[in-house]
Structure 1
Amino acid sequence: MEDYVIDMGKVTNSSGRRPSLYSINPTCAYFLGVNVNRASMSIGLQNIKNEFVSIELDFSFVLENTPESLQELCNIINSFIDDGSVDKRMIVGACINLSGRINSIEGFSYNYFFSENRPLTEIISAQLGLPVRLENDTRAMAYGEYKEGIVDGEQNVIFVNYSWGVAIGMITDGKLYYGKSGYSGEFGHSTLFNNEIMCQCGKLGCLETEISGWSLVNQFKNALKEGKQSKVKLTDSSEALQHHAIIAGAINLEDNLCIELVTIQSEKMGRYLSIILNIFNPELLVIGGDFSKLGDYALLPIQSALKKYSLGLVNRDVKLKKSSLGLRAGVIGACCVVKEQMLSTLISN
């Protein structure tokens, strides 16, 4: 135990036999968290006391479902470790967040880098020389907010990742909810609209076809074709970043078209989140992801629709808040997930 605990000396203001004080040694173990988005990624290294010793947020990385993209991801992580001040041997494990269907128990990702013959965790672990866990990005963000963010004692929480796509992460009785195989939270792929619009999942009329970053881009382009005006000019440099320009147009330019589109979307989001509220009756609903940057432009329409469409008793129980961690949520959640997994294994052994 001497590697994990520091003797802080004796209590000085105590009568009788003075008790000893001990503290966790913050340098005894480190945990790596990696959050991968479509056009960027973030990496952080925490010590056992939840303190970041190094972190890099939202730097450019294009996620593609190719061996080359996976190799680049591993190279970036290895460079981050090599450039840091922590001996790699002190890093107990890593957690990597990806979007889509993730089976954390078996280590498979079904949207990116899937192989029937070998879990993705084994492939990445061999590249990094570390134990690796996979986690769904939204679930990790939810856990980050629960452990170190906006959650203030609530034990039943719904976190909404409202970004390029839409998903939810659920905390029930203080624990992450996975479902049978870890595929829970695919709210964006609920078939709700008879609009004949093809979703990125291949189905027609999913929630994301009208409420998401990619649908916002389509709505913006269609509005321009109809003759509406905007100060915002979309570039073709990265399709996955175009919704950021529209969100920024609402926040920074007070662009009427951008505000109109995000307000309409957010009202719809509130309407369909009322279904989630009626089913789960949470204490707290957290709006995170790219659209959370909109503040009241998103929160007020969502709140109004929740009051209108959810049951009064259910709505009375829930608080609506914006993510407080922003880009840090996924990295913090990843660190917390792998930390608890490794400590649980250590204790059981």
Structure 2
Amino acid sequence: MAGKTQLYRKRIINHLYFSRMLSCAEVSEKIEKSLSLTTKILNELVEDGYVIETGHAPSSGGRRPQMYSLKPDIMYTVSVAMDQFVTRLVVMDMQNQHIGKIESIELNLASNPGALDIITDKINEVIDKSGTPKNKIAGIGISMPGFIDAKEGINYSFPGNRQGTITAFIENRTGIPVFIDNDSSLIALAELKFGAARNKKNVMVINVGWGIGLGMILNNALFRGDDGFAGEFSHIPLFQNGKLCSCGKSGCLETEAALTAVIEKALEGLASGRTSVLKKSALEVSSPEDAGDAIIAAAAKGDRFAVELLSEAGYNIGRGIAILIHLLNPGLVVLSGRGSSSGKILQAPIQQALNEHCIPRLAANTEIIISDLGHEAQLIGSAALVMEKYEKGITRKNKIQEAA
């Protein structure tokens, strides 16, 4: 029974992390155990300092139930959010609050064969700076672009590693379980568990960034496909433009709608004499991150050229979303990720594209909204990945420590 009790404790911790706050009856329902057993285990978790009583639920008639939450500092996750050019890292507690500041490093994955060494060193540095004991870290969650086999810990796109899997490489140098998954899938996980997609049935989460990623939530669950590669929205061949995509094909949605395409069009427009607060010389020497931020900031201030650039990208994204609506009929489309800060500018042209390319009956009840999580979604998704694998992570952590 002791082993089963430990399992139930882990399940309760997991449910409290994702639900934030639950009553004893709600916990009992989620772990599918009797109310008396659930009460006993919850009381033990309170006594052991894992769980705290957080007042009573609002009255709906009758006695108000006691609510329970996780104590924020019982353990931590290391959240690593990677895109093609920038990697962000931070330690998070059980309320997804940052321990210390977010660390950011410029790291071009496609052209840096030593990326794994850099990432691993930075992870250890961030942990040391946070002052968090490694024995209190449940795991390291890494979201990254590319074709990822999350089960095996392999990214078939990048970064390269000749010393085994990504997860094994980092685990061996940190002593902490590591989990990886596709960035857009984990952004969708964050929206499903903590954001706009919570309690929604069918949702398309669009990751607007250097590509146009997609996380699909179908029947209240994240859909990854047979091999975990579902959602390569960026590579739908929509255009006959002859532009080479990062995937090696041409005419993909990414070539007209990603932030890299927006930057390229900005430079072409400025070279041809377009009037703007943006300066060609400044964009040319800027990192992709700074150039993208500059265009979004200029559009937010009303710069006509910048607004046109983002509106054109939004319209093209809308063409892609029209295909998703015809195939999957989602009730909600969420604009999330790095580019969601320009969401209000993107919304109108996306809707215009839907008006032009969707059968009205199919699109009538699909809502387009901007994520409240924004660029934070990827960090939250990386942390959520660790807790999604919490039970497995504990076992792996023991094995890693024994091997050391």
Shorter-chain TM-score range? 0.7 to 0.9
Q: Deviations over 1:165-187 (max 9, x none)?
A: 11101111222111111111111
Structure 1 distance, partners of 2:309, 2:353, is 16
1:331–1:216 distance in 2 versus 1, CA, 3 Å: same
For the Cα contact (< 8 Å) 1:42–1:59, is it kept in 2?
yes
- 1:190 equivalent in structure 2: 236
- 2:186 equivalent in structure 1: 140
Structure 1 distance, partners of 2:90, 2:78, is 6
Q: Deviations over 1:35-72 (max 9, x none)?
A: 01233333233344x34251533723323343432212
For the Cα contact (< 8 Å) 1:6–1:25, is it kept in 2?
no
* Match 2:311 to one of 263, 267, 271: 263
1:21–1:279 distance in 2 versus 1, CA, 3 Å: closer
Structure 2 distance, partners of 1:134, 1:314, is 35
- 1:250 equivalent in structure 2: 299
1:6 correspondence with 2:51: no
- Which runs of structure 2 are paired with 1:125-136 in the superposition (5 Å)? 125-136=171-182
- 2:362 equivalent in structure 1: 314
- 2:89 equivalent in structure 1: 43
- 1:342 equivalent in structure 2: 390
Structure 1 distance, partners of 2:381, 2:357, is 31
- 1:59 equivalent in structure 2: 104
My pick for the range that moved more, 304-313 or 68-77, is 304-313
**Per-residue deviation at 1:314?**
2.2
For the Cα contact (< 8 Å) 2:116–2:159, is it kept in 1?
yes
- 1:299 equivalent in structure 2: 347
Structure 2 distance, partners of 1:21, 1:226, is 62
For residue 135 of structure 1, what is the amino acid of its counterpart? D
* Match 1:73 to one of 113, 119, 122: 119
Structure 2 distance, partners of 1:247, 1:286, is 18
Q: Once the two structures are aligned, what percentage of the paired residues are identical?
A: 29
- 1:332 equivalent in structure 2: 380
**Per-residue deviation at 1:74?**
1.0
**Per-residue deviation at 1:311?**
2.2
* Match 1:224 to one of 266, 270, 274: 270
Equivalent residue of 2:143, what SS? strand
* Match 1:155 to one of 180, 201, 205: 201
For the Cα contact (< 8 Å) 2:85–2:288, is it kept in 1?
no
Structure 2 distance, partners of 1:339, 1:302, is 34
Structure 1 distance, partners of 2:265, 2:66, is 65
Q: Paired residues, what number?
A: 338
1:345–1:62 distance in 2 versus 1, CA, 3 Å: closer
1:278–1:333 distance in 2 versus 1, CA, 3 Å: same
Higher-helix-fraction structure: 2
**Per-residue deviation at 1:251?**
0.9
Equivalent residue of 2:80, what SS? strand
**Per-residue deviation at 1:213?**
0.8
Structure 2 distance, partners of 1:227, 1:211, is 22
For the Cα contact (< 8 Å) 1:145–1:324, is it kept in 2?
no
Structure 1 distance, partners of 2:316, 2:268, is 18
- 2:17 equivalent in structure 1: none
**Per-residue deviation at 1:125?**
1.1
For residue 299 of structure 2, what is the amino acid of its counterpart? A
My pick for the range that moved more, 307-316 or 272-281, is 307-316
Structure 1 distance, partners of 2:227, 2:144, is 16
**Per-residue deviation at 1:23?**
5.9
Equivalent residue of 1:74, what SS? helix
1:87 correspondence with 2:127: no
Structure 2 distance, partners of 1:20, 1:150, is 27
1:274 correspondence with 2:322: yes
Equivalent residue of 2:285, what SS? coil
For the Cα contact (< 8 Å) 1:58–1:327, is it kept in 2?
no
**Per-residue deviation at 1:121?**
0.8
Structure 2 distance, partners of 1:22, 1:210, is 48
**Per-residue deviation at 1:289?**
2.6
For the Cα contact (< 8 Å) 2:191–2:198, is it kept in 1?
no
**Per-residue deviation at 1:329?**
0.5
For residue 130 of structure 1, what is the amino acid of its counterpart? I
* Match 1:175 to one of 207, 218, 221: 221
Structure 2 distance, partners of 1:115, 1:248, is 37
For residue 137 of structure 2, what is the amino acid of its counterpart? I
Structure 1 distance, partners of 2:161, 2:343, is 40
For the Cα contact (< 8 Å) 1:6–1:24, is it kept in 2?
no
Structure 2 distance, partners of 1:214, 1:64, is 15
**Per-residue deviation at 1:283?**
1.7
1:200–1:224 distance in 2 versus 1, CA, 3 Å: same
1:339–1:55 distance in 2 versus 1, CA, 3 Å: farther
Equivalent residue of 2:141, what SS? strand
**Per-residue deviation at 1:103?**
0.9
Equivalent residue of 1:325, what SS? coil
For the Cα contact (< 8 Å) 2:96–2:380, is it kept in 1?
no
Q: CA RMSD in A?
A: 2.7
Structure 2 distance, partners of 1:294, 1:194, is 27
For residue 276 of structure 1, what is the amino acid of its counterpart? L
For residue 193 of structure 1, what is the amino acid of its counterpart? F
For residue 256 of structure 1, what is the amino acid of its counterpart? R
**Per-residue deviation at 1:334?**
1.2
Instruction: Give TM-score, length-normalised by structure 2.
Output: 0.77
Q: Deviations over 1:200-248 (max 9, x none)?
A: 2211111111111111112112222333222102141324542222222
1:301–1:74 distance in 2 versus 1, CA, 3 Å: same
